[in-house]
């Protein structure tokens, strides 16, 4: 089962925090409760926006969900991360129920099939063939990896702190 985890950029110091996402319908704030405190099990509110544990107000525009996958450097992959996968640079997005890499350039699946055959000649490559999106699941199935680690994907930034990484790859 995939771990439900979120991250967001703190309003007070612009640092990234990972944890449980919390919002209220009476206030227009978004919060991240640190992951290490979630296991303590006490999520009771003592009063309006005063939980019994520390929380961080985050910019709602930066809240992103954990995909359930790790990159080749053992970093959690979240929506909004910018990643490199061979010659493909793109943003992690959720498309039609699947997390994957969305890119401005058309993906060359013939080249990817050759890379799969080079890695394991006995493997029959299998891709959906979407022009500008490849799911993380497809990458794992075709290129393998340990558990939820994608050894051919590397996080190189994110769309909030490094938008220029995506501009370079526009047609």
> Does 26 reside within a domain?
yes
Q: What average pLDDT does the segment 60-64 reach?
A: 90
Least confident of 50-54, 76-80, 129-133: 50-54
At which of 62, 93, 108 does a domain end?
Answer: 62
Q: What is the pLDDT of residues 42-55, one digit of tens each?
A: 444 444 444 555 67
Q: Which is more confident, 28 or 116?
A: 116
Backbone conformation region of residue 53, classed left if phi is above 0, alpha if psi is from -120 to 50, else beta: beta
> Does 123 reside within a domain?
yes
Q: Are residues 71 and 54 part of one domain?
A: no
The structural domain count of the chain equals 2
Q: Are residues 69 and 56 part of one domain?
A: no
Token pair 């709602």: residue:
60
> Does 90 reside within a domain?
yes
Q: Are residues 40 and 79 part of one domain?
A: no
pLDDT-derived band at 149 (thresholds 50, 70, 90) equals very high
Rg (alpha carbons) of the chain, rounded to whole number: 18
Q: Are residues 150 and 70 part of one domain?
A: yes
> Does 94 reside within a domain?
yes
In the chain, the percentage of residues whose pLDDT exceeds 90 is 52
Q: Are residues 57 and 36 part of one domain?
A: yes
DSSP 8-state assignment for residue 61: G
> Does 71 reside within a domain?
yes
- Cα torsion angle, 151, 152, 156, 160, sign: negative
Average model confidence (pLDDT) across the chain: 84
Q: Are residues 82 and 14 part of one domain?
A: no
CATH number at residue 154: 2.30.30.290
> Does 1 reside within a domain?
no
Please give the residue range of the domain that contains residue 24.
Answer: 6-62
């Amino acid at each position: 089962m995939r771990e439900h985890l979120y991250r967001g950029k703190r309003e007070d110091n612009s640092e990234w925090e990972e944890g449980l996402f919390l919002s209220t319908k009476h206030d227009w704030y978004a919060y991240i409760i640190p992951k290490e405190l979630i296991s303590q099990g006490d999520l009771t509110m003592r009063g309006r926006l005063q939980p019994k544990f520390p929380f961080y107000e985050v910019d709602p525009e930066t809240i992103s969900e954990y995909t359930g996958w790790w990159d080749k450097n053992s970093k959690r992959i979240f929506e909004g991360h910018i990643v490199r996968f061979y010659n493909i640079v793109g943003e992690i997005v959720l498309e039609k129920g699947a997390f994957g890499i969305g890119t401005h350039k058309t993906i060359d699946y013939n080249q990817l099939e050759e890379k799969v055959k080079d890695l394991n000649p006995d493997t029959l490559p299998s891709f959906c063939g979407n022009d500008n999106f490849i799911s993380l699941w497809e990458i794992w199935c075709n290129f393998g990896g340990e558990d939820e680690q994608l050894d051919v994907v590397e996080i190189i930034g994110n769309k909030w702190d490094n938008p220029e990484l995506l501009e370079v790859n526009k047609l």
